[in-house]
Amino acid sequence: MNKEQAFSLLDEEGYLLDLTLWSKELALALAAADQFELSENHWEVIDTIREFYQEYQLSPAMRPLVKAMSIKYGPDKGRSIYLMKLFSQSPPKQAARYAGLPKPLNCL
């Protein structure tokens, strides 16, 4: 998927309009447009955030994302400093964008 195809699916803030249209290719295209490389560690966060959305029907802010990471991958990865080092922008927002989820609310 190229950048133009990926961007045609987004709202003006860069979040996916139709959540059912998400694919790994889309995540890769969005990251590439940010000149951001997705490692195994990033995919863990993207998977976690998608599971969170499935269960709670909302995109997590920092605290619940940290908690969900901690539950799934243990305390070393369930820390905000870990997530902040991993991402270049606000982790809940950047990860939600790549994960094809709505913009998280109440996110500082």
Partner 1 sequence: MQSSSLTEPSLLATNMKKNILLIVRNPPFANSSNAETLDIAFACAAFDLPVSLLFLNDGILQLANNQQSNLLEKKDLTNNFRALAMYDIEDYFVIAEDAQRYQLTQNDLILNCKIINKDKMAALIRTFDTVINL
44-63 residues in contact with partner 1 (CB under 8 A) are 52, 55-58, 60-63
Annotated catalytic residue 32:
no
The stretch near partner 1 (CB under 8 A) out of 13-21, 22-30, 41-49, 100-108 is 100-108
Judged on CB neighbours under 10 Å (0-12, 13-18, 19+), 15 is buried
**How far is it, in rounded angstroms, from Cα 23 to Cα 29?**
10
**17 vs 105 by CB, closer to partner 1:** 105
**33 vs 64 by CB, closer to partner 1:** 64
Draw the binding track, 65-84, toward partner 1 (x: CB under 8 A; -: no contact).
Answer: --xx----------------
For residues 46-63, one letter each, b for 16 or more C-beta atoms within 10 angstroms of the residue's C-beta and e for the rest, the string is: bebbbebbeeeeebbbbe
**How far is it, in rounded angstroms, from Cα 62 to Cα 35?**
23
Q: Minimum distance from CB of 52 to partner 1 (Å)?
A: 8
